[in-house]
Structure 1
Amino acid sequence: MEALRLILRYVHLVGFALLLGGAVVQYLSGKIRVNSVMVWGASIQLLTGIALSAPLGRAVQPDPAKLAVKGVIALLIFIMVIVPFVKKRESVNPGHFFAIIGLTLLNAGVAVFWH
């Protein structure tokens, strides 16, 4: 079970990299829009986050409050990414775009600093 948990954690980090990297690339290109890499990253983050919250035979379980906060943030990110992508918008409001980046960084901060 430990190997499965480590693989899930690795894939979760890959999802984070895709989401944040896709957003940075869009920002640097000058065209603020949601791209398919961001959608993949948000989807991977949400699915692997749900899988990582399962007990998986651990002696010490993660804090349920931390899991709830991370789950809500991940769901918000997913919704904020998927809606403009499905509607095929050529650009999104800069505030919306920066909120995606900010929530992504906040979610990582909760994971790292909340013990």
Structure 2
Amino acid sequence: METLRHIVLFIHLIGFATLFGSWAVQAFGGKKQITGLMTVGLTIAGVAGLALAAPWGLPTGASINYAKIGTKLVILLIIGALLGIGSARQKRGDSVPPVLFWGVGVLTAVNAGIAAIW
């Protein structure tokens, strides 16, 4: 069971890497727009993160930090909202506001930091 949990963690990290990597490509070499790959990465990271939040396959004596999971979930929902708002603006022909675009990257990095440090 622990092996399955590690596989889900690996998938979760792939989702984060996809979201942050596609954002970084746009931030440092692209047009600073929201891409479909960002949404795919967010979805992968979110689904795998929810699977990791379930109390299965934990080592003996380990407990789940529900405050950390809740914080990361709120940040994930905010990132999803920013991606949705940015995508809607792009479809109307408007540009994505810089605060919205940079917010996606900063919040994604904060979410990774919470996972690693907390």
- TM-score normalised per structure 1: 0.90
Q: How big is each residue's C-alpha offset from its partner over 1:21-62, in whole Å with a ceiling of 9 and x where there is no partner? A: 111111223411100111111111111111110001323122
For the 8 Å contact 1:84–1:92, the answer to whether it is kept is yes
4+ residue runs of structure 1 moved beyond 2 angstroms? 82-85
For the 8 Å contact 2:5–2:57, the answer to whether it is kept is no
Unaligned runs of 5+ in 1: none
For the 8 Å contact 2:86–2:101, the answer to whether it is kept is no
Cα distance, 1:75 vs structure 2 = 1.3
| CA RMSD between the two structures | 1.4
Cα distance, 1:84 vs structure 2 = 2.5
| Aligned mate of 1:95, from 96, 99, 118 | 99
Larger radius of gyration: 2
For the 8 Å contact 1:46–1:78, the answer to whether it is kept is no
- TM-score normalised per structure 2: 0.88
Partner residue in 1 for 2:111: 107
Q: How many residues align structurally?
A: 113
Partner residue in 2 for 1:40: 40
Pairs within 5 Å for 1:29-108 = 29-58=29-58, 59=60, 60-85=62-87, 87=88, 89=90, 91-108=95-112
Letter in 1 for 2:80: F
Distance 1:56 1:82 in 2: 32
